[in-house]
Amino acid sequence: MTSTFPSERSRALAERVEAFVRSTVLAYERDARCGPHGPSDDLVRELRSRAREAGVLTPHILPDGSHLTQRETAVVLRASGLSPLGPVAVNTMAPDEGNMLLLGRIGTPLQKERFLAPLVRGEARSAFFMTEPAGQQGAGSDPSMLRTTATREGGRWRISGRKMFITGAQGATVGIVMARTGAPEAGRATLFLTELPHPAVRIERIVDTIDSAMPGGHAQVLIDDLLLSDEHVLGEVDEGFRHAQVRLAPARLSHCMRWLGAATRAQEIATGYATTRSGFGKLLVDHEGVGFMLADNAIELQQCALMIDWCAGVLDAGLPGTTESSMTKVAVSEALFRIADRCVQVMGGTGVARDTVVEQVFRETRAFRIYDGPSEVHRWALARKIKRDALALRA
């Protein structure tokens, strides 16, 4: 995998991560502990132990607690994504990577020691509790529909509600819960930290989904009278939506970084197949129908890398990056799905079999077009901005 590195330290880290993923992690892709709801906690511990020994655990956070820039992070996370197990092994996976960023930005010193430090050490997993069941008209792509409530009672907060598609809740020890703190029309919410497992936070079921890369899968969770003190408030009361923006744009971009690595790997495998398999008297790659698909993939992989680098530069400049991350998420998620789809097509029957990781990359990138906001919601938000800007020019 070739990349343009924004700094020497990012080059060194990315090369070490890539070498570890290729030499160590790839061998685990057929491990029996990889199930329909992600790798088991036992496998996660084993992979992270090996990453720790190799010196590549949590590579995006430096020993002094500071983070790589977003442009630097992009090349490191792309290297980790060469295997669906790579981000799990080196501790750059969702939702932990985004939760670590959020805790590092707005957590109190006590919260960082209690909740963040174990995540950075790779000793804990976390979950972000925001999405709610559609059947109850709860929050999904529209966070203003939030129904989970937090009410102040005698110096404590009482939180109740139901959450849906909560990635990694099964097995997590750190939870960040978004709850409404006020009347629905007020549009106020607060973030709360909680230790897990907790008797008031009950997993009702693990949802069977198309993807299978995340430890713990995606859970439906009942929060039933969870009592927390003010020490568990993350950031300020009623500022949950604003604080969530700290995590939002970088987390969208991190997904793009990791899955760009996975699509790069799928392209490598499809290319290897097309340059060794023959049909109708010549190598498959020499048939235009096959060679052109691989060429289109090469073009779109480069376009994705450039789009990610552009958006990362916006975030590194200290700008919110809301519009830019929406554009990047739509463009990259849809391109990566096309890339994975072509890889499956190039490989024919082998492409739909689980003999290689290409089939999983196809499933994961299909889910990515929905996670962190469906393409249609991002396009709708972008169209609203286009309208606002056009009307402002006429005013």
Q: What is the CATH number of the domain that holds 270?
A: 1.20.140.10
Identify whether residues 255 and 162 lie together within a single domain: no
Identify whether residues 140 and 196 lie together within a single domain: yes
Q: What pLDDT is recorded for position 136? A: 79
Identify whether residues 259 and 358 lie together within a single domain: yes
Tally of CA atoms within 13 A in the half-sphere of 188 that contains its CB: 10
Identify whether residues 324 and 341 lie together within a single domain: yes
CATH of the domain at 67: 1.10.540.10
Last residue of a domain, one of 201, 216, 236: 236
Identify whether residues 138 and 68 lie together within a single domain: no
Last residue of a domain, one of 193, 216, 236: 236
Q: What pLDDT is recorded for position 22? A: 98
Identify whether residues 351 and 281 lie together within a single domain: yes
Q: Which pLDDT tens digit goes with each residue over 202-212? A: 999 999 999 99
Identify whether residues 29 and 148 lie together within a single domain: no
- Answer yes or no: is 299 within a domain: yes
Q: What pLDDT is recorded for position 2? A: 53
| Residue 3: band (very low, low, confident or very high) from pLDDT cuts 50, 70, 90 | low
- Answer yes or no: is 117 within a domain: no
pLDDT, greater one: 238 or 135: 238
**Is the pLDDT assigned to residue 52 strictly greater than 60?**
yes
Written as one letter, the residue type at 161 is G
Last residue of a domain, one of 201, 236, 271: 236
Q: What pLDDT is recorded for position 141? A: 82
* % of the chain at pLDDT higher than 70: 99
Q: What pLDDT is recorded for position 1? A: 58
Q: How many domains does the chain have?
A: 3
Identify whether residues 217 and 201 lie together within a single domain: yes
Domain carrying residue 210: 126-236
CATH of the domain at 130: 2.40.110.10
- Answer yes or no: is 107 within a domain: no
Identify whether residues 205 and 277 lie together within a single domain: no
Identify whether residues 325 and 212 lie together within a single domain: no
